[in-house]
Amino acid sequence: MARRSMPVLKHLLTSSSTPTLRRSVTYMPRPGDGAPRPVTLIPGDGIGPLVTNAVEQVMEAMHAPVYFEKYDIHGDMMRVPSEVIESIKKNKVCLKGGLATPMGGGVSSLNVQLRKELDLYASLVNCFNLQGLPTRHENVDIVVIRENTEGEYAGLEHEVVPGVVESLKVITKFCSERIAKYAFEYAYLNNRKKVTAVHKANIMKLADGLFLESCREVATKYPGIKYNEIIVDNCCMQLVSKPEQFDVMVTPNLYGNLIANTAAGIAGGTGVMPGGNELIHIEYFKLP
């Protein structure tokens, strides 16, 4: 569906502009022999079953070498069943429809549980114009890469005294560097020209400041890719007025959620924009 897709082979790449640095990136291997491959399927809630059923029909019509292990779980369940987690770990690929997140109460989001349990630290959404689907803006082709495990969505909340609730925003250098490496490596491998870091460091100077610091450090390892920064509120205004200026965007958790949905709406709606949560290891090491 996307015009550019994430490579799925193991790469060992050396940058000519930085001869002392080698990047080692491990992606999920291809099946290779064309044998039918199991994929975990969670139809989910709302339009989820409609969307995933359409995918099943397309796969059947294509005679694609995949078959689905289907699990009937819903957002009002207390936890993701252990057999679903084991299926995803075994198959390495999961097609998931939307899971409803209860408002308030004591039931936590199953979406967040899946991300934490599987360490799905990168959310990637590619928003672009589709032929035959008229929209207000043209030449939109934005990739939103969102840190998926911490920030405001860490879920660390407590009631200090009756009527006063404290919700903690957690930002770590490890997770910030990891998502920045993912974004720049994606841009490098997919011939993207620019990475924009979205932040609110003018107010949250320590938390978002650490995120920006990490992005800047990683950016120095990719001199061929333009890097810039934008405050999240200005980003939203720029996104709805001139979205074609953006290429790859890297964001903390909450901002990425808002921006990805906005970008999807600009390009035609969330129902037609491809996206996923991924776990890809990127490590840097010096050559001897």
Domains of the chain, start order: 31-118 (3.40.50), 121-288 (3.40.718.10)
Residue 223 has pLDDT above 90, yes or no: yes
Contact 31, 83 (CB under 8 A): no
Tokens of 102: 């209860």
> What's this model's pTM, rounded to 2 decimal places?
0.77
| Tens-digit pLDDT profile for residues 2-45 | 444 444 333 333 344 444 455 555 444 555 566 888 999 999 88
Angle at 50 between CA 1 and CA 268, to 5 degrees: 45
Considering only residues 275 and 148, tell me which one the structure prediction assigns the higher pLDDT.
Answer: 148
What is the spatial distance between Cα 79 and Cα 134, in angstroms, rounded to a whole number? 41
At 228, the amino acid letter reads N
Residue 92 confidence (pLDDT): 87
- Contact between 112 and 100 (Cβ < 8 Å): no
CA-nearest of 152, 267, 284, 287 to 220 is 284
For 56-107, what is each residue's pLDDT tens digit? 999 999 988 899 999 998 888 888 899 999 999 999 889 888 888 777 655 5
